[in-house]
Amino acid sequence: MTLTGHCLCGESTVEIDASPDSQIVCHCWDCKQTSGSAFSTNVLIPKKDVKITGAVKEFNIKAPSGNTVTRVFCSNCGSALSHLSVAFGDSQAIQTGNFREFATIPVGTELFAKDRWTAFAPVAGAAQVQAMP
């Protein structure tokens, strides 16, 4: 099944050829800053099943692990679209806030739970991972 998401301005499109049954909440500081919020929501999708088109830019940053993370965002409105890292192998993280369908897909894992803001309780039933596995 192909799911299509769009950035805020609509100039960038993300298509994934997948039907994820859960998503990941990440509480790391890079994801907080990228999302402008307390966490980000993502799915890992094989790169071969991802198509990103439109006005995009990339930004590279070194993660606490020492790996370089490449952040992909709309160059017009700044919406976060995706990020890549060697830690993901042949997959890439796709920000799910750009897809309406993910409003009904449960969270299966919380990453960097050690950095979760105290205002937010752990997601019931989700695996709690203290840092990057």
Given this model, what pLDDT does residue 84 score? 95
Protein fold of 2-128? 2.170.150
Answer whether residue 114 shows pLDDT above 80: yes
Q: DSSP readout, 41-71?
A: EEEEEEGGGEEEEESEEEEEEE-TTS-EEEE
Task: Please answer whether residues 96 and 43 qualify as being in contact, where contact means their C-beta atoms are separated by less than 8 angstroms.
Answer: yes
How confident is the model over 68-76, as a mean pLDDT? Answer: 96
* pLDDT tens string 12-54: 999 999 999 999 999 999 999 999 999 999 999 999 999 999 9
pTM of the shown model: 0.93
Q: Where are the domains of the chain?
A: 2-128
